Amino acid sequence: MLVRGGRLIDPSQGIDALRDVRITAGVVVEIGQDLQRYEGEDIFDATGACVAPGFIDMHVHLREPGFPEKETIATGTIAAARGGFTAVACMPNTNPALDSSDVLHDLRERAARDAVVRVVPVAAITLGRNGETPADFGALTQAGAVAFSDDGNTVMNAKVLRDAALAARGVPGAFISHAEDEDLKADAVMNEGVVSRALGVAGSPAVAEDVIVARDLLIAADTQKNWHVAHLSTRGALEALAYGRERGARATAEVTPHHLLLTDETVRERGADGKVNPPLRTEDDARALRDAVRDGRIEVFATDHAPHTAAEKSGDLRSAAVGFTGLEIAVGAYARALPDLPLARFVELLSTNPARVLGIEGGTLAVGSRGDLTVFAERTWRADPSQFASKGKATPFAGWEFPRRAIATIVAGNLVATS
């Protein structure tokens, strides 16, 4: 394939210029200007668009094994491709949890059969994600795990977490924190504040996140295990992140589209469609997150794509499922949240940095690298959940207008999605 006429943005090589990219046998073999087409070579005309190393979402719930009514590897990766993602890291809150070599081997076989983009697994920190017994990190790494998390649950026992971090120092995969103190959170369904009190529902205070980020990064500094904070949502957690780094923690952090753009007022307006963990916070928190993206304190954009059935997301706020779909709106939502963000920084957050944090191929279009490309353009569009490929149709962004979208997704030189 020859991708021709686009503005190539590759921060890994310091390129921001009109360039053509040639892919042969799934590998980038040439970058240049006005490259001539070889006989039999497919052409993708990227004139007027940007070409980037394939976007990577390092926080996705594909729901397999165990919950095919919510999502499957097939539907989830089609949604990823439509959203411009060439690779996704899938979280371990499946049934069974991704806590053994056998389960990981089964997942990889399913992905090899059904996925249209690359799928890399994030394995559990503790067996069954129950917070009690550390998993076998060496065996999980050999089975393909690229990171470790009990996402959806917090490892509440600090000794268990520290022992796990010490045991995992010999493997490269980072620990990923789901930062919510379960005791402080209790039965909360949204952020604690003016809106939760007006709605008469239990709220989770920001400090429930802040204290776990602080604790986990102190453990990270103590054990020298590389660490990543998932779906950071509060100003206080940003301060804890800075403190942990000052103490020697090798820590990175991600932010979601919804925590950049939405507040707890969304729950008042959209009900269960705005229910998510950690909850949507205040405008002050969202502003702090946007500032942290701009100045580099947050290194990664990630969706926390968490699809559910329509029945699970309907009804009373207290009983509705937590989370919503995100893969197909992400590129547009990030652009709307941060319209002043330089495009090179945009690509770093979606491609270069996720590849580096996960330690996987990608994040570059240097000659010899994987032929995974995302082509995106400044095109206004409106989110219509009825058109989503994901089985999960719930989103607080239904009907929103976005200024940017992925228009082509190329995996190993194969065009897997266009819009």
Catalytic positions, written as ranges: 304
Report whether 61 contacts 93 (CB < 8 A).
Answer: yes
What are the Cα distances from residue 278, in Å, to 164, 174, 243, 400? 24, 20, 21, 22
What are the Cα distances from residue 291, in Å, to 51, 58, 126, 159, 260? 26, 21, 34, 34, 10
* E-state strands within 260-385: 300-301, 373-377, 381-382
The residue among 151, 284, 312, 144 whose CA lies nearest residue 216 is: 151
* Amino acid type, 310: A
* DSSP bridge pairs for 128: none
Which residues, 6+ apart, have CB-to-CB distance to 257 below 8 Å? 301, 303, 326, 329, 330, 333, 334, 337, 397
* Token pair recorded at residue 11: 């921060």
In the DSSP assignment, the letter for residue 348 is I
Residue 303, CA atoms < 13 Å, CB-side half-sphere: 31
Report whether 326 contacts 258 (CB < 8 A).
Answer: yes
What are the Cα distances from residue 84, in Å, to 119, 134, 197, 298? 14, 35, 39, 21
Distance of alpha carbon 121 from alpha carbon 140, whole angstroms: 10
The dihedral built from the CA positions of residue 390, 392, 397 and 399, taken in this order, carries a sign that is positive
* Amino acid type, 401: E
In the DSSP assignment, the letter for residue 311 is T
* Cα angle 24-345-228, degrees, rounded to a multiple of 5: 95
